[in-house]
């Protein structure tokens, strides 16, 4: 597959005129749709804007590569435009962006296109290629320039692949020779083999120049991963330095650093925004930075390694001095804690959602036993669904704790974290205990790594298989049983008593707050905080699912924004462009499916009007849900789980009232649109 297979003439605009970043995204998405690559334009745009909310894809030097990998894409594709006057795209160098490539990647299926997209990312780092594109007069000339440059890039990639293959063969031969010597093979034969290997490896790896190794990775693994790699490689070539860069992209790990590479390197640059295997770098000088630093300041990074200014890596999953690491990456300690928490939550949610919805279906298929003690398992089908769903749901706390721990202390921390989560459930400390268990296990294992770092080298292999598991498990058992569980269990009982004893007015206030939180940042930290609180309320003392009024308020609060916007496009047509009105049906579907992100494109283009209106409507819906004593046993599903919502007719009324409130607030405050 070639770049020109993904980029079509109708998806190119060489003279685009846009006023700001949202308008730039809007135009690019229009071009992508013109190429026939999208199954759901509104959802795709929402995903692109959500990616921009994580950090601008304006990489500097006048280039921006927005992208999204989502189910809204039916076929991989590219769209491109040139904004001759430039536009503020919040780029890394704070300069205007002129050249844009929008990437659409399908959520599933084969990833053949990712190799093509990584090639484009590398090509864009070439100043001559960049200038040639800017001077193109027609889409056909634009595509010809890309095709010619891609041919050269492919030849380079093939040469690099052949060199990597030759090195791998040489290292395999070296290992075989060493094994033969160990097995007592004829000394002359082994020595000759070793000499051939030494010659091969030496020719492949040692040029006599300083050598630096690097790893690059970004969350989506589509663009920034490869652009950082290309920037580092180009700068190293200009400086007369040898470098090898391993890329951890969506298409897998490429150009893998070998043991010989790591041994030879003066140091390693880890320019990553996601976790990559780093224990292999223990004892080397390692510089941990964001992937954007690899693009923006490759020379500084290489010089830091060559001058020996990078700290020696202790072998943990992050630099041993955590505050220093946070400063180096521009992240606060609070931000790092949030990332660890979200790692746990993201792994937990499939268990909660899958199990919760199966339990909801069990109730739905057992309506004939409603009101009886056997409700939910009164028929064979219902009992089957409830048992399977309950098993999945009971894993919620251990998985949460385990993956928080793993985010902090990597693989050795997973087992102590999971067991700590089980101890939290069995000890009555529940969700809050599992949170404590995850963080304690992660930092406990990091502490064990430091304490055991002074052991003889001969015992190194016993650490991951014996010392970390045994000591980690023992210490976690002591901490959870005697320190965390007793006070946290008491707090949980007190909190349950407070919630149970709340007057109707107090519950309404709680529902108002939770519903409003779901519409403040549409999938951001505030939204996630409310959602996690809601899912936690679904777990009873035994870890089994229960029906929750808190979860009902959270779910309805998240459903309101897309529905309200859809209603507004119908009732206040003058307030929206024709393009915005075309997303009406999509927003209804997303709203009724509890996909809050459908409101993101509107919130991004007009935050001062959309966010307050949606927050007010969601808060009203959450309050009414509490007032009507609605509860739900499922953490997701929206309209599709209304059949198991307690007092579902009034739940629907609460949803409708909240959506109408948001609709009218937005309709009366927003100015008429200009087509």
Tokens of 564: 């309200």
Residues 277 and 279: their CA atoms lie apart, in Å, by: 6
CB distance 218 to 224 below 8 Å: yes
Query: Which SS3 state, helix, strand or coil, does residue 629 take?
Result: coil
DSSP 140: H
Tokens of 278: 């780093």
β partners of residue 70: 106
SS3 assignment for 369-411 = HCCCCCCCCCCHHHHHHHHHHHHHHHCHHHHHHHHHHHHHHCH
CB distance 378 to 366 below 8 Å: yes
DSSP 548: B
Residues 58 and 65: their CA atoms lie apart, in Å, by: 6
CB distance 429 to 489 below 8 Å: yes
Shortest CA distance to 396 belongs to which of 454, 347, 361, 338? 347
Q: Which of 218, 568, 630, 663 is catalytic?
A: 218
Residues 567 and 268: their CA atoms lie apart, in Å, by: 54
CB distance 421 to 436 below 8 Å: no
Shortest CA distance to 611 belongs to which of 653, 673, 669? 669
What is the maximum span of the chain, computed from C-alpha positions, in angstroms?
A: 91
Tokens of 524: 């951001």
Tokens of 57: 């894809």
Shortest CA distance to 149 belongs to which of 176, 173, 121? 121
Active-site residue, 272 included? no
15 class by beta-carbon count within 10 Å (0-12 exposed, 13-18 middle, 19+ buried): exposed
Q: Which residue has the tokens 């007190």?
A: 494
30 class by beta-carbon count within 10 Å (0-12 exposed, 13-18 middle, 19+ buried): middle
Tokens of 668: 């009366």
Residues 135 and 385: their CA atoms lie apart, in Å, by: 62
CB neighbours of 392 closer than 8 A, spacing ≥ 6?
351, 354, 355, 358
Q: Which of 67, 113, 224, 609 is catalytic?
A: 67
Length of the chain: 675
Shortest CA distance to 436 belongs to which of 446, 423, 454, 453? 423
Q: Which residue has the tokens 């001969």?
A: 458
Whole-number Cα distances in Å, 91 to 94, 97, 119, 308, 521: 5, 7, 21, 31, 22
Query: Which SS3 state, helix, strand or coil, does residue 543 take?
Result: coil
CB distance 245 to 233 below 8 Å: yes
Whole-number Cα distances in Å, 196 to 81, 133, 173, 264, 367: 53, 47, 9, 19, 76
Query: Which SS3 state, helix, strand or coil, does residue 366 take?
Result: coil
Shortest CA distance to 85 belongs to which of 7, 24, 12? 24
Query: Which SS3 state, helix, strand or coil, does residue 291 take?
Result: helix
Active-site residue, 609 included? no
Q: Which positions are annotated as active-site residues?
A: 67, 218
């Amino acid at each position: 597959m070639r770049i020109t297979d993904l980029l079509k003439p109708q998806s190119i605009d060489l003279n685009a005129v846009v006023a700001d970043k949202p308008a730039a995204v809007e135009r690019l998405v229009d071009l992508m749709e013109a190429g026939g690559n999208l199954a759901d334009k509104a959802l795709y745009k929402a995903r692109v804007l959500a990616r921009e909310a994580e950090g601008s894809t304006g990489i500097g030097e006048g280039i921006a590569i927005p992208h999204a990998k989502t189910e809204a894409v039916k076929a991989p594709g590219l769209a491109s435009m040139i904004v001759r006057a430039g536009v503020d795209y919040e780029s890394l160098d704070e300069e205007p962006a002129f050249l844009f490539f929008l990437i659409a990647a399908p959520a599933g299926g084969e990833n053949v296109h990712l190799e093509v997209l990584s090639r484009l990312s590398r090509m864009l780092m070439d100043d001559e290629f960049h200038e040639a594109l800017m001077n193109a007069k027609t889409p056909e000339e634009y595509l010809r320039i890309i095709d010619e440059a891609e041919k050269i890039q492919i030849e380079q990639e093939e040469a690099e692949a052949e060199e990597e293959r030759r090195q791998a063969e040489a290292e395999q031969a070296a290992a075989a020779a060493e094994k033969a010597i160990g097995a007592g093979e004829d000394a002359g034969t082994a020595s000759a083999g070793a000499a051939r290997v030494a010659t091969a490896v030496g020719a492949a790896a040692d040029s006599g120049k300083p050598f630096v190794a690097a790893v690059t990775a970004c969350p989506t693994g589509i663009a920034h991963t490869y652009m950082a790699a290309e920037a580092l490689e180009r700068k190293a070539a200009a400086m007369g330095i040898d470098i090898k860069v391993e890329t951890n992209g969506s298409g897998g790990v490429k150009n893998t650093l070998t043991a010989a590479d790591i041994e030879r390197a003066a140091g390693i640059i880890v320019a990553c925004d996601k976790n990559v295997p780093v224990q292999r770098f223990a004892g080397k000088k390692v510089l941990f930075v964001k992937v954007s630093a690899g693009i923006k300041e490759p020379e500084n990074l290489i010089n830091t390694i060559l001058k020996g200014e990078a700290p020696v890596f202790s072998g943990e999953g992050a630099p041993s001095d955590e505050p220093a690491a946070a400063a180096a990456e521009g992240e606060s300690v609070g931000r790092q804690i949030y990332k660890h928490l979200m790692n746990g939550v993201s792994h937990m949610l499939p268990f909660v959602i899958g199990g919760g919805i199966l339990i909801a279906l069990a109730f739905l298929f057992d309506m004939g036993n409603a009101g009886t003690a056997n409700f939910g398992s009164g028929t064979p089908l219902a009992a089957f669904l409830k048992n399977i769903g309950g098993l999945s749901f009971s894993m919620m706390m251990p998985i949460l704790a385990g993956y928080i721990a793993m985010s902090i202390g990597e693989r050795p921390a997973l087992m102590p974290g999971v067991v700590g989560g089980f101890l939290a459930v069995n000890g009555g400390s529940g969700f809050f205990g599992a949170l404590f268990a995850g963080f304690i296990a992660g930092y406990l294992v990091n502490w064990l790594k430091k304490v055991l770092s002074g052991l003889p080298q001969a015992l190194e292999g016993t650490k991951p298989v014996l010392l970390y598991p045994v000591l980690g498990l023992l210490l976690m058992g002591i901490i959870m049983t005697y320190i965390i569980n007793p006070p946290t269990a008491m707090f949980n009982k007190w909190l349950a008593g407070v919630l149970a004893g709340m007057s109707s007015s107090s519950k309404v206030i709680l529902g108002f707050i939770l519903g409003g939180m779901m519409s403040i940042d549409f999938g951001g930290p505030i939204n996630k905080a409310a959602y996690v609180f809601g899912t936690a309320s679904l777990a009873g003392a035994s870890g089994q699912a229960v029906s929750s009024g808190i979860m009902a308020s959270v779910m309805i609060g998240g459903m309101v924004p897309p529905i309200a916007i859809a209603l507004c496009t119908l009732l206040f047509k003058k307030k929206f462009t024709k393009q915005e009105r075309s997303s009406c049906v999509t927003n209804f579907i997303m709203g009724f499916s509890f996909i809050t992100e459908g409101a993101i494109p509107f919130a991004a283009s007009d935050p001062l009007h959309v966010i307050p209106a949606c927050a007010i409507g969601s808060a009203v819906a959450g309050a009414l849900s509490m007032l009507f004593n609605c509860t739900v046993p499922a953490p997701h599903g929206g309209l599709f789980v209304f059949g198991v919502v307690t007092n579902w007719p009034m739940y629907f009324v609460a949803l409708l009232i909240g959506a109408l409130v948001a609709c009218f607030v937005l309709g009366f405050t927003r100015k008429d649109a200009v087509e």
